[in-house]
Structures are given as C-alpha cells and as structure tokens.
Amino acid sequence: MNTIDIVIVEDDEITALNLSMSLQKYGYNIVETCDNIKDAKNKINTLSPNLIIIDISLQDTYDGILLAQYIRQKYKIPFIFLTSHSDDGVIAQAKETEPYGYIVKPFDPSSLHATIQMAIFKYNIENNKKNNMNRLREDHSNVEKFEKLLYSRRSTDEPVVTFGEDYHLNVSACETFYKNKKLKLTKKENAFLRLLVAKVGQVVSFEQATNYVWDKHGATENSVRTLVWRLRNKLETDIIKNASGIGYFIEKS
C-alpha cells in the first residue's frame, strides 16, 4: 500500500491520540493533528494530505461541517467525518458536504481502516472519470479546430480541397481522389489523410493522429505507423513524408 498522509481534525486529545495510534498500526502516516478549524486550514494548505478525518463537533460547535465545506470548495482532497452525533439534522447537514465516509464514535479501528480504503478508492475512481472527461473535451476541441482548418483550405465553395499533385479530398464525404478517381481507402486511412491535409506543410504528431483517427484511446505510435504503411501502398505517389520520431506531413504545394 502506498503511504497515505492523513490530517486528523479532532479537539478531544484522547480520541485524537487513539486515532493516530490506530491508523499508524495500519501503515498510515499521520502528518498533523489539529483541534480547531483555523489551524486545520493552515495545515491542510501547507501539507496537502491525501485524506482528512474531521470531527463534526469542534469546540462544541459544528465547525467540522464548515471545514468540510471549505475543503470541498478549495481542495481536491477526500475527507471522512467522525462524530458521536446521531441527530438526523446534523447528519443531513454533513451529507450536503459529500463526505467520503462517516464513522460514529467510539470507532472500531478495523472499520475505520476499511472506510479509509473505500474513501481513497472512490476518490481515485471519481478523479479518473473527471480526467477522462477533461481529456475527451480537449480531444473534441482539437477535432473541431482541425475541421475548421480543413474547410478553410477550400479554394471554392465546393467541399473539395486539393493537395499534393493531382489529389483532392471531398471534405463532406471524407473520400480521397487521385486524378478524379476515387481511392479505395478505409475510414481510418481517409481520416488520417484528412488530418494531414488540414495541417498541410506542418507535422502531424503521433499523439494528434491517435486522438483524431481513433475514437477511443489505446492506439499507439505503432498503430499510426501501420496505418501509414498501408496507406502508402494504396496511394499513387509518395506524398506522405516522415518527420523522424515525431510524426508525418504532406508538403505544401
């Protein structure tokens, strides 16, 4: 298990000590113990822990909920509530902060350990989903950019872009022609040519090619090389040039 740094926010000294000792036995690293919201904010900002355990009732108030709201707004750090309260109103307020777990005092060390593991697991899953969504949005933005660039290369209002010598691309149909004869290319081969034509005179990197041509991530540089090898065998002339170790390009006429 990778070391997990934890900040404990608990104003009862005995409970804080028991928490710290119990968690250390499971291999967790307790980087700080705080007994008030102000100190906790400073330490969280300085230490950037992997997880925070918060007692809902700090200094006989519900400052723990306020701290959780602050963490949710400012940081991407999972937190778990620890409390002796079972009041429905308090629990309802706590739920609104979307904690990753909830432990009732007196706590059982093994249950706390399981709750922490589930909290970290849930956080990582959510974080991966967010990263994937951001990557998909970025890929979609890049596709739109290339499409606009491709359409800007038309010399007339017709959906046709010429390139190389005697080649043209029907932008609407995503079909490639040589001397007005349609070439029998696969969908991916046509898509790759489309990208090369959009960036004619510039190098299309392996990453750009995989993001544009393949609908899902998982393609590699070798996937691109194999695609180019097949494509070159189908083209009438050698118009696809190598940019060694970087990608491919079509020279500007």
Shared domain check, 153 and 105: no
Q: How many domains does the chain have?
A: 2
Q: What is the pLDDT of residue 147?
A: 74
Shared domain check, 223 and 177: yes
Distance from C-alpha of 204 to C-alpha of 98, rounded to nearest angstrom: 44
pTM over 0.75: no
Tell me, yes or no, whether 138 lies in a domain: no
Tell me, yes or no, whether 128 lies in a domain: no
Tell me, yes or no, whether 224 lies in a domain: yes
The domain containing residue 246 runs over which residues?
A: 149-250
Query: Which of 121, 140, 157 delimits the end of a domain?
Result: 121
Shared domain check, 162 and 221: yes
Tell me, yes or no, whether 20 lies in a domain: yes
Question: Rounded to a whole number, what is the distance in angstroms from the first to the last CA of the chain?
Answer: 58
Tell me, yes or no, whether 213 lies in a domain: yes
- Res 171 pLDDT > 60: yes
- Res 52 pLDDT > 60: yes
Shared domain check, 168 and 106: no
Shared domain check, 106 and 10: yes
Distance from C-alpha of 147 to C-alpha of 171, rounded to nearest angstrom: 9
Q: Please report, to the nearest 10 degrees, the dihedral formed by the alpha carbons of residues 50, 55, 56, 60 taken in order.
A: -140
Mean pLDDT of 41-64: 87
Give the CA distances from residue 75 to residues 81, 88, 96, in Å, rounded to whole numbers and listed in that order. 16, 27, 16
Domain holding 202: CATH number? Answer: 1.10.10.10
